[in-house]
Amino acid sequence: MNRASCRWLTGARLLLALVLAGPVAAQPQRVDVESNGQGEAITIQASADVQADPRTVWDVITDYDHLARFIPFMRSSRVVQRDADRLIVEQAGELGIVFFKQSVAVRLAVVETAPTRVAARAIGGNIKEMEGLYTVEQLPSGYTRLSYSGRVLPDFAVPPVIGRIALRSVMERQFDAMVSEIASRERERTQLQR
């Protein structure tokens, strides 16, 4: 067999392997997390473009009773009341880096606007004020953008710089874990469709 035939055969095998393997699902194209301090409050902005069906993204961000299974620093999460698109969710976890550690418990009033928006605000726990918003947007590229914006005012003493660093670190790891869970579920979904 000559070199040209060998290269063509190798290329054909590679193409066949890629086709049989199916699409690589839900790999993040970009993950961005920013945090800022506004007085005692800390604001967070995060986004990721993922190659996943928007329904998969929605299913992950609204899986309140199982979030603690895949979200770092979250010990528990459960729906305690549901009335159509309005829920009460209780969550507990930990905020911390290096020598600063703080247990966090929060009771959230959640409003879902399926399949694009989840808004939450603290109504109890050791968080004085908290507002958060997840949005799910299908992009022309075929990717789905998951965005989060939030503002947190703890009801406990947080060293100004360390608090912002700790919250950013926790949020980055949690958001990365959310994107990884989306990837895992999207792979399962696409395999089931074959």
Crossing angle of the two packed helices 160-192 and 54-61, in degrees rounded to 10: 130
Could you tell me which CATH class the domain 24-192 is placed in?
alpha beta
Q: How far is 70 from 159, CA to CA, in rounded Å?
A: 28
Break the chain into its structural domains and give their ranges: 24-192
Whether the predicted pLDDT of 188 surpasses 70: yes
Side chain identity, residue 144: T
In this prediction, residues 162-179 reach a mean pLDDT of 81
Per the confidence metrics, is the pTM higher than 0.95? Answer: no
In this prediction, residues 64-90 reach a mean pLDDT of 97
Whether the predicted pLDDT of 12 surpasses 70: no
Of 183 and 18, which is predicted with more confidence?
A: 183
**Can you read off the two tokens belonging to residue 57?**
């993204």
Of 15 and 157, which is predicted with more confidence?
A: 157
Counting residues of the chain whose pLDDT is more than 70, the rounded percentage is: 74
Q: How far is 112 from 133, CA to CA, in rounded Å?
A: 10
In this prediction, residues 69-87 reach a mean pLDDT of 97
Selection from 70, 69, 66 nearest residue 78 by Cα: 66
Which pLDDT value is given to residue 52? 96
Confidence of residue 101 (pLDDT cuts 50, 70, 90): confident
In this prediction, residues 64-86 reach a mean pLDDT of 97
Per DSSP, the three-state class of 35 is strand
φ/ψ of residue 182, rounded to 5: -60, -45
* Cα torsion through 34, 163, 109, 150, rounded to 10: -20
Whether the predicted pLDDT of 78 surpasses 60: yes
Mean of the per-residue pLDDT values of the chain: 81
Which pLDDT value is given to residue 47? 92
Q: How far is 109 from 4, CA to CA, in rounded Å?
A: 65
Q: What is the largest CA-CA distance in the chain?
A: 74
